[in-house]
Chain A
């Protein structure tokens, strides 16, 4: 459907995504939202917050919260490795760190290669905005505002 619209709209448009791995899957976030990528730093845990909020880090004097994308999407927690990265993204007024297994590359995906996520079988993956595909692989494109969700404080 999106494909059809894109061809109708004239020259094919493309967007760039920063891709990263979580487990076996490749995910992507729009490059515009990404501020920087940093290695794992000492994280100060916070009491009384949702499980996927790992804590806060000191990013050159700014204190920003860090979310573990792995636990956010319902996967098992794994110990951090030397390849673990924190992708600092800015959504609206909020700056948040996303902890991911490892960062892959910046990729330009034409809109014509992006499909809407399937309507069935999504389960907890409703934060997907689309599926970017080429010959041999599929990249799960994340809808950042949905992934970050609203209040991270634990309910009740």
Chain B
């Protein structure tokens, strides 16, 4: 595949994913049947853009499904069909399907293996329209699958008396039939049979012109007039009916389809459209010029017609493909099964493709940045250069000025750091918004009534953090609805309102971001969890009785802790909870649980604002220096030799209050050439991770530092016991200890 096409497809995936997210949010807002016209129109436009691009790129299943969905939506806009709960659900399914296909397309660059599912979905959508697709557009790709779709049978059956139907709706109905035929004719033309159909085409265009006359859409009328005129000239032999011209007509049909679909919506939309139409009619008039246009140029033009905004998006940045997994994360079980099925189909359908794909392409990752932040950055760089000049050149005035210039330089540098860091920050709103759908699906499926309250969605977090917490959040939210919430009946019995409340909240607190998921469900049962933990040998009974509530609840994060037997007893929490914890720990965060039996449960994810800067303790061993993340340090102290107990294995233990802790000499661990051996002359640092605790012996504590974390080269891969390194003020490198890794390898 040539890189250009590949890039176009990547753009398509990116755009469509954005369209999908936007459409989903809007659709969720429509539940209950009351949808603002503007919202409907927007969703319609989103559907249409995806469909158009998919058609161009020959993504059969996507194009086909989106086309029918668009038709249904158009019908709903026109008032022909009700916006039922069922319709919204089906649209949601459509979006799920689109998401799955996008994930597959992002990898394979073709849309294959989902024809069956697409067919099923089309049937579902058509069922909502009384089993008929209103009209067929050429952009639905000309492949066998699409040919099965019945083309332009009867328009919606239940027409109300003309007098009651607004003028444009009546007009719309008049348009549908000629338009459907026109599309068919043009499609035939595109496929290769030309001459005899030009007459039919001209006739249909004439009919359309007739139908439009007197309507409120002069722009469309003029446009159709132009097309009609062109058809006349073809018929008269003035213009050659070339395949290129056929393409022009095909696109024109697409534009008309959009225009007709939008007719019933607000006036402003039409006005907006009319500017696009006039633009197109210029193009259409000059057919010869059209011939010179390259394929790519035509695409861009077409994209520009579909949506100016999207064209801007295409131009404004590279397309990231990633996050496929994240978006997978928020589908329900049933949909998951469907994905698996699709995957199987894919695998069976095209094993060679997968093999040919060879090494996985490196995934580019991109980020949208507020232009204001970039401006700020540029300003600061300007200031930096001025400050630099002041330091290097303007120092004749004497040391006083130099001092001033240095102070300025350091001020600018610090602001520059702040701005640079803020570039990586994204609002958590996107992550949160995905939860709305999840909560809706899970609660509907469980027959529970839950209202989701979101707060602090404007909170900004590091991009990496936002990506990594998406999965854990899904688990927590799903568990909260699935297991935490009672059914409405149970809730009424317990004296609570039938509708449960789920809170999702983000806020900054003490240099961390706190994300809280809290429900007012049945809460966790300490006794049962403890029994289970004892049964599984995680803790002895005597010790267990003394544990605090949160220590007991923390058992649910043990791998596989929640078994079938315990599901009802402890609300089943534990499904994937160990994964939640692992993910959070990857970003150096922690989870806290509080729960009151019968009142509800609350999980708080506490995550450092950014992974790029950590608070670290710089320690020295010989001439080497290491950084220990401050979060892992419990305390540090100097001891006398007498406090050390030596086991026969040579392992040293030190007694601290009532605990015996193993001593780990960093010098020996890393086989460093120099360093203190006398335990009285160095410092013991108590480090902990999970429940493992050891004393790390180092020469001295140098001090606490804000540490900018740099990864070790990817060439080195994972180096045991190190999580990265940092460059110190004097340019030397300090290695950052991976405390969990060190303790893990010791325990193993």
Query: Given A49-B719, A63-B727, do A44 and B735 touch, yes or no (CB 8 Å)?
Result: yes
In the complex the two chains form, is A46's CB within 8 Å of B717's CB?
no
In the complex the two chains form, is B715's CB within 8 Å of A148's CB?
yes
Nearest-Cβ distance from residue A33 to partner chain B, whole angstroms: 14
Nearest-Cβ distance from residue A113 to partner chain B, whole angstroms: 32
In the complex the two chains form, is A47's CB within 8 Å of B716's CB?
no
Query: Given A44-B624, A47-B670, do A58 and B716 touch, yes or no (CB 8 Å)?
Result: no
Which of the segments A16-24, A75-83, A91-99 contacts the partner chain? A91-99
Contacting residue for B733 out of A49, A63, A151, CB 8 A = A63
In the complex the two chains form, is A57's CB within 8 Å of B733's CB?
yes
In this assembly, does A32 line the interface, its C-beta being within 8 Å of a C-beta of chain B?
Answer: no
CB contact list, A26-60 vs B, under 8 A? 42, 44-49, 53, 56-58
- B719-732 CB contact bits vs A (8 Å, 1 = yes)? 11110010100011
Query: Given A63-B710, A64-B713, do A56 and B720 touch, yes or no (CB 8 Å)?
Result: no
In the complex the two chains form, is B714's CB within 8 Å of A94's CB?
yes
Q: Which residue of B lies closest to A41 (CB)?
A: B731
In the complex the two chains form, is A63's CB within 8 Å of B713's CB?
yes
In the complex the two chains form, is B716's CB within 8 Å of A48's CB?
no
In the complex the two chains form, is B735's CB within 8 Å of A46's CB?
yes
Which residues of A have CB within 8 Å of B355? none
Contacting residue for A153 out of B624, B717, B725, CB 8 A = B717
Q: Which of A45, A46, A53, A153 has the most CB of B within 10 A?
A: A46
Nearest-Cβ distance from residue A38 to partner chain B, whole angstroms: 13
In this assembly, does B718 line the interface, its C-beta being within 8 Å of a C-beta of chain A?
Answer: yes
- B611-636 CB contact bits vs A (8 Å, 1 = yes)? 00000000000001000000000000
In the complex the two chains form, is B733's CB within 8 Å of A58's CB?
yes
- A112-145 CB contact bits vs B (8 Å, 1 = yes)? 0000000000000000000000000000000000
Nearest-Cβ distance from residue B623 to partner chain A, whole angstroms: 10
Nearest-Cβ distance from residue B4 to partner chain A, whole angstroms: 23
Nearest-Cβ distance from residue B416 to partner chain A, whole angstroms: 13
Contacting residue for B725 out of A42, A44, A148, A151, CB 8 A = A44
Q: Which residue of B lies closest to A96 (CB)?
A: B715
Q: Which residue of B lies closest to A153 (CB)?
A: B717
Query: Given A58-B727, A63-B710, A63-B727, do A44 and B715 touch, yes or no (CB 8 Å)?
Result: no
In this assembly, does A61 line the interface, its C-beta being within 8 Å of a C-beta of chain B?
Answer: yes
In this assembly, does B161 line the interface, its C-beta being within 8 Å of a C-beta of chain A?
Answer: no
In this assembly, does B196 line the interface, its C-beta being within 8 Å of a C-beta of chain A?
Answer: no
In the complex the two chains form, is B719's CB within 8 Å of A61's CB?
no
Which residues of B have CB within 8 Å of A151? 716-717
Which residues of A have CB within 8 Å of B362? 93
In the complex the two chains form, is A56's CB within 8 Å of B725's CB?
yes
Which residues of B have CB within 8 Å of A61? 727
Which residues of A have CB within 8 Å of B718? 153
Q: Which residue of A lies closest to B711 (CB)?
A: A63
Q: Which residue of B lies closest to A91 (CB)?
A: B715
In this assembly, does A146 line the interface, its C-beta being within 8 Å of a C-beta of chain B?
Answer: no
Query: Given A63-B727, A93-B714, A94-B714, do A44 and B732 touch, yes or no (CB 8 Å)?
Result: yes
In the complex the two chains form, is A152's CB within 8 Å of B716's CB?
yes
With A and B bound together, what is the CA distance between A63 and B624 in angstroms? 16
In this assembly, does B661 line the interface, its C-beta being within 8 Å of a C-beta of chain A?
Answer: no
Contacting residue for B669 out of A47, A62, A95, CB 8 A = A47
Which residues of A have CB within 8 Å of B731? 42, 58
In the complex the two chains form, is A46's CB within 8 Å of B722's CB?
yes
Contacting residue for A44 out of B713, B721, B733, CB 8 A = B733
In the complex the two chains form, is B715's CB within 8 Å of A47's CB?
no
In this assembly, does B712 line the interface, its C-beta being within 8 Å of a C-beta of chain A?
Answer: yes
In the complex the two chains form, is A96's CB within 8 Å of B713's CB?
yes
In the complex the two chains form, is A56's CB within 8 Å of B715's CB?
no
Nearest-Cβ distance from residue A90 to partner chain B, whole angstroms: 10
Nearest-Cβ distance from residue A79 to partner chain B, whole angstroms: 15
Which residues of A have CB within 8 Å of B714? 93-94
In this assembly, does B671 line the interface, its C-beta being within 8 Å of a C-beta of chain A?
Answer: yes
Which residues of B have CB within 8 Å of A64? 713
Nearest-Cβ distance from residue A34 to partner chain B, whole angstroms: 16
Q: Which residue of B lies closest to A97 (CB)?
A: B713
Nearest-Cβ distance from residue A10 to partner chain B, whole angstroms: 27
Q: Which residue of B lies closest to A50 (CB)?
A: B716
Nearest-Cβ distance from residue A70 to partner chain B, whole angstroms: 19
With A and B bound together, what is the CA distance between A97 and B734 in angstroms? 18
Given A42-B731, A58-B731, A95-B713, 20 new contacts (CB under 8 A)? A44-B732, A44-B733, A44-B735, A46-B719, A47-B670, A47-B720, A48-B670, A48-B720, A49-B716, A53-B716, A56-B733, A57-B733, A58-B732, A61-B727, A62-B710, A65-B715, A93-B362, A96-B713, A96-B715, A153-B720
Top 10 A-B residue pairs of the complex, sorted by shortest distance between their CB atoms:
A47-B670, A94-B715, A44-B733, A151-B717, A65-B713, A48-B720, A153-B717, A63-B710, A58-B727, A152-B716
Q: Would you list 25 pairs from A and B whose C-beta atoms are within 8 A, ordered by A residue?
A: A42-B732, A44-B624, A44-B733, A44-B735, A46-B735, A47-B670, A47-B719, A47-B720, A49-B716, A56-B725, A57-B733, A58-B733, A63-B710, A63-B711, A63-B712, A65-B712, A65-B713, A65-B715, A93-B714, A94-B714, A95-B713, A96-B715, A148-B715, A152-B716, A153-B719
